[in-house]
Amino acid sequence: MKKSITIFLHYYFFAQSFGQNRIDDLAKQKQVLEKIINENNKQLELIQKSKKVTVNELRLRQNTLKLKIKIHDNIKSQINDINTKLSYTIHSIDSLTSSIENHKKQLIKLYKSYYRKINKSNTEILLFILSSNSFNQAFARLKFYKSLISYYNKLVQNLDNEKEFRKCQRKLCFTTKGTKN
- The tally of CA atoms less than 13 A away on the side-chain side of residue 64 is 6
Q: Is the pLDDT of residue 56 over 60?
A: yes
* pLDDT the model gives residue 6: 55
Overall domain count for the chain: 1
* pLDDT the model gives residue 31: 85
Q: What pLDDT, in 10s, does the model give residues 87-137? A: 888 888 888 888 878 877 887 787 777 666 655 566 777 777 788 888 888
- Measure CA 17 to chain center: 85
List of residues 6+ apart from 147 with CB closer than 8 A: none
User: Does residue 136 contact residue 80 with C-beta atoms inside 8 Å?
Assistant: no
**Domain ranges, residue 123:** 2-180
* pLDDT the model gives residue 131: 83
* pLDDT the model gives residue 40: 77
Q: What pLDDT, in 10s, does the model give residues 17-29? A: 444 566 777 778 8
* pLDDT the model gives residue 117: 61
Instruction: Work out the pLDDT band at 160, boundaries 50, 70, 90.
Output: confident
Q: Is the pLDDT of residue 13 over 70?
A: no
